[in-house]
Amino acid sequence: GPKNLVILDRIENPTAIAELKALNPMVTVTFYPYDVTVPVAETTKLLKTIFAKLKTVDLLINGAGILDDHQIERTIAVNFTGTVNTTTAIMEFWDKRKGGPGGVIANICSVTGFNAIYQVPVYSASKAAALSFTNSLARLAPITGVTAYSINPGITRTPLVHKFNSWLDVEPRVGELLLEHPTQTTLECAQNFVKAIEANQNGAIW
């Protein structure tokens, strides 16, 4: 039952946005261009615009991620630094020490955060860092008023896993080998995601 859904992404996808609007006409869906690798100050500026328009924002989902161990700096920038920066920026509006109302953060991490795909150590480590960061956020909730939990999907059938590069090409067939394990569909992943949001359990590792 959300009133608003705001999508922040590098690339606008009008087809996906139209699909979301059709699912529930009662929800206002808006899009803003955003790259998670920008500095905190730039993110804060964008959030100021969003908060001015909506007045209340209840839930932030940090979901940006790339899987390509050839792109070391970008993997860390998107999967970890982006999560930290976006979270840091929203604290300006949510932190109860600044008179904010608090809020909820759901971070999409990965099972690789605690069970590495060793052929992609940079990706796995970036997700472990995001998971550790989320666990700390949850423990800081009494101070900040902001609760947090992580969703850690297993292998999900998305373009992300079809073909990707291993670190130093230690395993050229890593994408194929990964898909030999049990997988889930994006719909199954999304349905479980909704359960986690409904449970709204601070510190949970789903």
Catalytic residue ranges: 123
Strand ranges (DSSP E) for 75-189?
Answer: 103-108, 146-151
Q: Name which of 160, 177, 79 is nearest 119 in CA terms.
A: 177
Decide: residue 161, CB within 10 A, 0-12 exposed, 13-18 middle, 19+ buried.
Answer: middle
Which three-class secondary structure state does DSSP give residue 40? helix
Q: Measured between alpha carbons, how far is 70 from 164 in angstroms, rounded to an integer?
A: 9
How far is the first Cα of the chain from the last one, in angstroms, to the nearest whole number?
Answer: 22
Q: Measured between alpha carbons, how far is 180 from 194 in angstroms, rounded to an integer?
A: 27
